[in-house]
Amino acid sequence: MKTSRRHLLGAMAVASFPWMRTRGGGSAAATTVKGRVEKIKDMIVYEHEKYYCAFPSVVIRPNGELLVAFRRAPNRRLYGESYSHTDANAYLVMTRSRDNGATWSREPSLIFAHPFGGSQDPCMVQLRDRSIVCTSYLWVPVRPETTEKFPKAMKNRSFVFFGGYVLRSEDGGSTWAGPIIPPPLPTDTTVNVFGDRTPPCQRGALCQARNGKLYWTVQSFTQAETEHSSVQLLVSEDRGNTWKYSCPVAEDDRVVFNETSMYETDKGDLVAFIRTDKFDDHTVISRSTDGGRSFKWEDAGFQGHPHHAVRLPDGRVFLVYGYRHKPYGIRARVLNADCTDFKTAAEIVLRDDGGTRDIGYPWATVTADGHILVVYYFNKADGLRHIAGTLLTC
């Protein structure tokens, strides 16, 4: 499972729409009512019996083509081992659809295989110049006895955390340049296997604001031996080539903040949707009204993680998140344009047929034919981990 540092190192009432809930993950009838989100169907984006697939992101190209990036690693259960979120053979791959998600390329293309270890969580954002920026982070496998040589490094079993990096494609995901290594946070003291201060990283969406700047919320650890973390902001003015530290997004002596997605509202607020630990899995919302120079966080009042937000054609905001409490699945809320009604917006149950907690990490986009596509990883009855999707009206 991914919780606080273990992610990087590796029951409240539900106000759901009765017309939306579909037991067993089946399709819901789609009688479109203007302004109402309704489920059309679930789908398989990619699955293969020999691979453990997880942590997708999706973008839509100007020509309507859909790109889904995800992490693919061996299905080690096939030869007597177990699943893990740290794997030396975890690579970043991509599948495509040219028909609004009806079909997907059977064999994914390689985005990046890091020479030093296994990569995680490819998080894509498409910039206004049509280039694509993708962030990820790396675990380096070492011998068990070697981990003792890195007292200032974050470790998980026989892996040492290397830190984050950035890739960029100028040709619609066909080729990728990088990795670009962001500078360490001023608050961090951890190091990687080379003794360098650990570059920051995060699972979650970057945001290119109307001013052209890229805003990236990253996780900060001040000590290798603690699971306590905060979220800090990096800003790039040159499409992700260089990054500068800005300010804290969320930090607290007790609450742990980690996986975060950023969204810019129509009026220019920067809103961060944050996963927490030691806070009853409550979502936290942190907002900046001054262009990312300062933030203030508050309890959103509902459970779920991590999150992704996308603007709908009518200006509302579709917020989707994983739900790792029984019944396991994927949930969402439709927020107003300013993202201020998160405590009262009704919760929508997209799926509640997940086999275990090892599911989720949804990402959404609006397709060329005007539907919402949500992609995520999933399993049924603790079976094969695969990339799944749900199509909705909007």
Query: What is residue 33's predicted lDDT score, i.e. its pLDDT?
Result: 56
Block means of pLDDT (10 residues each) for the chain, 394 residues, are: 45 30 36 76 98 98 98 97 94 98 97 97 98 98 90 91 97 98 92 94 97 97 80 98 98 96 98 98 98 98 98 98 98 98 97 98 98 98 98 95
- The secondary structure of 182-237 as a DSSP string is PPPPTT---B-TTSPBPPPB-SS--EE-TTS-EEEEEEE-S-TT----EEEEEEES
Q: What is the pLDDT of residue 221?
A: 87
Residue 273 to residue 298: CA distance in whole angstroms: 10
E-state strands within 324-385: 329-335, 347-351, 360-366, 372-378
Round to whole Å and give the CA distance between 24 and 46.
20
Print the domain residue range for 172: 4-393
Whole-angstrom distance, CA of residue 167 vs CA of residue 104? 23
Chain centre to alpha carbon of residue 384: 20
Measured CA to CA, the distance from residue 206 to residue 123 in angstroms comes to 8
Determine the Cα–Cα distance for residues 103 and 89; give it in Å rounded to an integer: 27
pLDDT for residue 148:
87
In the block, tokens 């293309």 appear at 109
pLDDT at site 223? 74
pTM beyond 0.75: the answer is yes
Taking the alpha carbons at both ends of the chain, their separation in whole angstroms is: 32
CATH classification at residue 51: 2.120.10.10
* Residue 213 CB partners (closer than 8 Å, separation 6+): 235, 236, 237, 292
Number of separate domains in the chain: 1
pLDDT for position 342: 97
